[in-house]
Amino acid sequence: MIKVINRVKGFITLEIEGLNIERFLNKIIRHKIHIVSCKRISLTLSEITIFDTDKTKLFSLLKNDYNVSVGSISNGNKIYKFLFKRYGFIIGLIFSIVCFTFLCGKVWKIDIEGNELIKSNEIITILNNAGVKNGSRLEEIDTDYLEGLLLEKNDKISLVSVIKIGSTIKVNIKEKVDDGTDKITSIISDFDGIINNIELIQGTCLVKCGDIVKKGDILVDSYTFDGDNNKIQVQAKAKIYATIWVKGEIVFDENETRLVRSGRYFTKSNLNMFGLNMPLKRDEEKYNYYEIEKFSKNICKNTLIPFTIIKEKIYELVEIEDNKSFEDEKELLIKKSIYLAYDKLNAVDNLDIISEQTDIIQVGSKYYVTTYVKLIKQIGVDK
């Protein structure tokens, strides 16, 4: 290791002039000076290269017996001298690295984008209260938590993403679109029917008792007139009751055909890479009716190799006729049609039912089971 450091520090080449160079070499070896290279140029002149660190030790051994002149200094030595003799530079460099590392771990800017209605200060206040401010440690900031917090604290935010870019916290906001819920609305009929009763609270009623209304008709408009006969906009409010009919229909075929798997099948296998399919196995058979089951499996569990095997099983289907008796299924079909009728009301409780009637019509092998429910219901939705 010391030798490696010495090599980094560099070498020095000296020209030594004097007699009996062998004695000199033995002397420096005994003083544990490492010779990198040594060459005799003439009888009295030799060139010797040693580590720069051994230079002073060598000069102390020479005394006055030999004349020494410095030949060359290797580059390593120059770099060593440049770097390791300039303590101020080294300290400044280390200080800069430490400062840079320290400052990189802190938040120095909070950048908010995508906000038009929401003020940036509101967001910054929420973040500050959560401990995110200039000078906070980046490691301690949980972006998922901040996203949840912003969504919770500000109702106007629809989507938010918080990301760390360098020493900046970037908050990207998508504001909620004004869906018009705060706007003045009219009352629109949501069923076909005959108006029975009207309790007008606010607005202008456009229908009267006994009127036939269709789905989508305006029942109460969003305006009224003040004392000076000026038209003013108001929120329509009213309770309107109407007689309505709802229908539930179900069709039953005595000779119904069903498709079932015959048990025959063939498989197709494809090797997929980035959406590119390469067929592996393909047993083609032609079926009139078929059903496909698809499986896919990654070759490598951790998706290191992006190959996926896609296997398709094509099952043959055959037609089977089910000869069922309508009389056996009648009760169940009537119940189903009643259920379908009531399902359209979107409400089950407090229904004022006037009548309930089920009709059965036969056309060939088909039976149409239809249930009509007549009832009084509050109608109208704000729109």
Partner 1 sequence: MLNFFNEILSNNELLSSNIGYKYLNIAGRMIYVMGYKDILVFSNEIMSFKLHGKKVLSVKGVDLSLKEMDGQIAMICGLISIVEVIG
Q: Interface residues with partner 1 (CB under 8 A)?
A: 21-22, 25-26, 29-30, 32, 34-40, 46
CB of 35 to partner 1, least distance (A): 4
CA–CA gap between residue 74 and residue 331 (Å, rounded): 106
Handedness of CA 119, 122, 124, 126 (dihedral sign): negative
The CB-of-109 to partner 1 minimum distance in angstroms stands at: 56
The SS3 call for residue 20 is coil
Query: Smallest distance, Å, CB 276 to partner 1?
Result: 53
- Least gap, CB of 17 to partner 1 (angstroms): 15
Burial of residue 243 (number of CB atoms within 10 Å: 0-12, 13-18, 19+): middle
Across the beta sheet with 218-221, the strand order is: 204-205, 218-221, 187-188, 381-382
Residue 303 CA to residue 320 CA, distance in Å, equals: 44
Closest CB to partner 1 among 25 and 345?
25
Q: Please say whether the beta carbons of 257 and 320 come within 8 A.
A: yes
Sign of CA dihedral 149, 150, 156, 161: negative
Q: Across the strands, what pairs with 161?
A: 172
What's the min distance (Å) between Cβ of 40 and partner 1?
Answer: 5
Residue 223's Cβ-side half-sphere holds a number of Cα atoms within 13 Å equal to: 7
Which of 32, 208 has the CB closer to partner 1? 32
Apex CA 291: angle with CA 290 and CA 293, to 5°? 145
Q: How far is the CB of 78 from partner 1 (least distance, A)?
A: 23
Q: How far apart are CA 244 and CA 346, in angstroms?
A: 14
Between residues 7 and 239, which has the closer beta carbon with respect to partner 1? 7
- Cα–Cα distance for residue pair 108/105, rounded to 1 Å: 9
Cβ closest to partner 1, residue 8 vs residue 99? 8
Do residues 53 and 9 make contact, with C-beta atoms less than 8 angstroms apart? Answer: yes
Residue with smaller CB distance to partner 1, 15 or 211: 15
Give the shortest CB-144-to-partner 1 separation in angstroms.
55
Scan for tokens 């063939």, then name that residue: 266
Which is closer to partner 1, CB of 38 or CB of 124? 38
Cβ burial 227-242 (10 Å sphere, 16+ → b, else e): eeeeeeeeebebebbb
Cβ neighbours, 10 Å, residue 379: 24
Residue nearer to partner 1 on the CB measure, 72 or 96: 72
Cα torsion angle, 140, 145, 151, 154, sign: negative
Our CB check for partner 1 shows the closer of 50 and 150 to be 50
d(CA 140, CA 151): 20
Beta carbon of residue 65, minimum distance to partner 1 (angstroms, whole number): 16
Shortest distance, position 42 Cβ to partner 1, whole Å: 9
Minimum CB separation of residue 20 from partner 1 in Å reads: 10
For partner 1, give the closer residue by CB, 22 or 293. 22
Helices 75-84/87-104 angle, 10° precision: 70
Pick the closer one to partner 1 by CB: 54 or 147.
54
